[in-house]
Structure 1
Amino acid sequence: MRPMKNGKTGPALVLCQKTSGDEMEVVVKCSIGCEQKEASLAAEVIGACLAADLGLPIPEPFLVELDPNFIGSIPDVEHRDRMAMSNFVAFGSKHVTGQYSAWTNGNLISEGMLPNAAAVFAFDAIIQNPDRRDGNPNCLVRGDEIRIIDHELAFAHGLILFWKAPWVLGGLQNLETPGLHIFRAGLMGRAIDYTPIRKAWIDLSDARISEYGNAVPTEWGVATKSVASALQLIKDARDNIDACITEIQRVLQ
């Protein structure tokens, strides 16, 4: 339908047909535009599955098959070439409509928004997502409602030298830097109830977490190692969620 205005990965708005035959507008992200190619798309899938189970507000995720005939019909040369060079399975999110706007520094965390904002901050901290920051919020807002998007940079802890886990003292030190997370300033000094956050993480079973990996298509086979690393991080964080929350509290004090 058109290129999206924002997004360094070069996403496009595509009218897709579901297996049921229904049509839906989907924001499609192709492997060629991502830093880690298929591994980045795998991070999107795992992040979406985890966020849904944690009750976080994300757009409905999809795997999108890029048919060669469709690719050949795209009039925009840049996007036609981008899709042609990509894995034929892409990642997509249902297009968010209805007067949502991008989060800005002027937005405040209301009392109604507080539980979701705190849960999202914990989610990003644990999955090592560096990409919800001032200037690139990856968060849409409408009143007290938010929608979080774009998690392709998460679970990259295996690429970080001297990485510290989020349940270790100092493991979230980077989040102490002003502007590195859009919600930190608004959460500092607030009375946050961590009980729902803790329960949501503890309720994740090994079998359920394994299903996240099964949701990653076999066509992204080169991402196998990063998928295993992501699933292990989730399991370890669940098993150490109290220590994770202690570290989160420390950076929000």
Structure 2
Amino acid sequence: MPAVTETGLFCEYFGSQLAVEFGLDAPVPVIVNISADLLDASRDSLRSWGLAPRSGEAVGVEFFRGLAPLNRFAPVGSGRGEVADALRIYAFDMLVQNPDRRDDNPNCARYRGRFLAYDFEMAFSFLYPLVGALLDPAEIPAFATQHVFYRSLVEASRRGVVDLQPVGDALNRVGERVEELGQFLPARWASFAARVVSHIRAVQARADVFEDGLRRSLA
């Protein structure tokens, strides 16, 4: 279904794209155009699913069958692999300032032994006037404590099984690619993309501050 705003479309598409680049298991996004003819031909089926989309441009994502919900009380197991997956998602959400992965709305599921993150519409919250950018893009947002993996990662950190080295590597990888990826976006998203590129590059330039902030947030 087409998103309500251009900002939402951009965030869903570019957020998903950067998540994959960061190393998350996440749906691959595509830009699609829903024609009026297609809606007319499938209206009955859509109605049976409780859907009433409008024609226009939208963002579609890869479909995964067989997703399993997280255990709300213990979303992350004790194994290093699960901790590493959870940390990668947490770090990415802090990087792109995404507040929309919480206990009551995890936007994450288990899939074939891994965590699959989805729904990036609220990523890049610094684009929204009511939220605004942090004074220092490398700061860890205050909503970190509301993240679905926060408590599990704090416990893992106290056990000494949190390794931030892969996060630093992923940040460098995204920092090197973000401008190139932004060049392939629709022209009408250019101003959004420029702000995201600036933000990612600013964090990359202060990677030590960002990583230290992650470490302290989980202490």
1:213 is displaced (CA, Å) by: 1.9
Match of 2:86 in 1: 117
TM-score (norm: length of structure 2): 0.84
SS at match of 1:90: strand
**Alignment length, in residue pairs?**
207
Higher helix share: 2
The sequence identity of aligned pairs, in percent, is: 24
User: 2:175 & 2:101 partners in 1: Cα distance?
Assistant: 27
SS at match of 1:227: helix
What is the letter of the counterpart of residue 121 of structure 1? Y
1:93 is displaced (CA, Å) by: 1.1
1:59 aligns to 2:27 (yes or no): yes
Paired residues for 1:1-253 under 5 Å = 29-32=1-4, 37-73=5-41, 74-75=43-44, 76=46, 79-80=51-52, 82-84=53-55, 88-98=56-66, 100-110=67-77, 111=79, 112-142=81-111, 144-158=113-127, 159=129, 160-161=131-132, 163-168=134-139, 171-176=140-145, 180-190=146-156, 191-206=161-176, 208-218=177-187, 221=188, 223-253=189-219
User: 2:152 & 2:114 partners in 1: Cα distance?
Assistant: 15
1:68 is displaced (CA, Å) by: 2.3
Q: Deviations over 1:109-134 (max 9, x none)?
A: 12121111101100001100000001
| Cα gap change, 1:200 to 1:137, in 2 (>3 Å) | same
Structure 1 spans left out of the alignment, 5+ residues: 1-28
1:150 is displaced (CA, Å) by: 0.5
- Contact kept, 8 Å, 1:202 with 1:239, in 2: the verdict is no
What is the letter of the counterpart of residue 181 of structure 2? Y
Higher strand share: 1
Match of 1:4 in 2: none
| Cα gap change, 1:143 to 1:188, in 2 (>3 Å) | farther
- Contact kept, 8 Å, 2:101 with 2:107, in 1: the verdict is yes
1:135 is displaced (CA, Å) by: 0.9
User: 2:115 & 2:54 partners in 1: Cα distance?
Assistant: 30
